[in-house]
Amino acid sequence: MASKILKPLVFVSCLLPFAWLFWLGNTAGPGGSGLGPNPQEFLNRFLGEWALRMLLIALAITPVRLVSGWSGFMRYRRMLGLYAFFYAMLHLTSYVVLDQTFNWLEIWNDIIKRTYITVGMTSLILLIPLAVTSNNAMIKKLGPKRWRNLHRLVYVIAPLACLHFFMMRKGIQMEPLVYAAIATGLLAVRVGYSIRKRARQN
Partner 1 sequence: MLLKKNKSWDMKSIGLKPTDITPKHLFDSRRKFIANSGKTMLGLGIGAIAGGLPLMANMKTAHATTPLNAMKSMVHTLGRLGEEKLTEFDAATQYNNFYEFGTGKSDPYENSGDFKTTPWTVSIEGEVANRGVYDFNDLVKPHQLEERVYRFRCVEAWAMVVPWVGVQLSDVIKRLEPTSKARYVAFETLHDPDQMPGQRGFGFKWPYVEGLRMDEAMNPLSLLCTGMYGETLPNQNGAPIRLVTPWKYGFKSIKSIVRISFTEEQPPTTWNMIAPREYGFYSNVNPKVSHPRWSQARERVVGDGLFSSKRPTLMFNGYEEEVASLYADMDLQKNY
Let me know if 51 is exposed, middle or buried by CB neighbors in 10 A (0-12, 13-18, 19+). Answer: buried
Give the residue with the Cβ less far from partner 1, 35 or 60.
35
CA dihedral (113, 115, 116, 119) positive or negative = positive
* Residue 51 CB, nearest approach to partner 1 (Å): 19
Q: How many CB atoms lie within 10 A of CB 105?
A: 8
Please say whether the beta carbons of 104 and 85 come within 8 A: no
* Residue 105 CB, nearest approach to partner 1 (Å): 10
* Residue 168 CB, nearest approach to partner 1 (Å): 8
Give the residue with the Cβ less far from partner 1, 78 or 114.
114
Three-state DSSP state, 33: strand
* Residue 73 CB, nearest approach to partner 1 (Å): 32
Give the residue with the Cβ less far from partner 1, 181 or 195.
181
Residues forming contacts to partner 1 in the complex (CB under 8 A) are 25, 30-33, 35-41, 43, 98-101, 103, 106, 109-110, 113-116, 168-174
Would you say how long the chain is, in residues? 202
Give residues with Cβ within 8 angstroms of 185, minimum separation 6. Answer: none
* Residue 48 CB, nearest approach to partner 1 (Å): 15
- Helix runs in the chain, H state only: 2-25, 39-68, 77-93, 104-113, 115-132, 136-142, 144-151, 154-168, 174-201
* Residue 93 CB, nearest approach to partner 1 (Å): 13
Please say whether the beta carbons of 59 and 158 come within 8 A: yes
Give the residue with the Cβ less far from partner 1, 69 or 171.
171
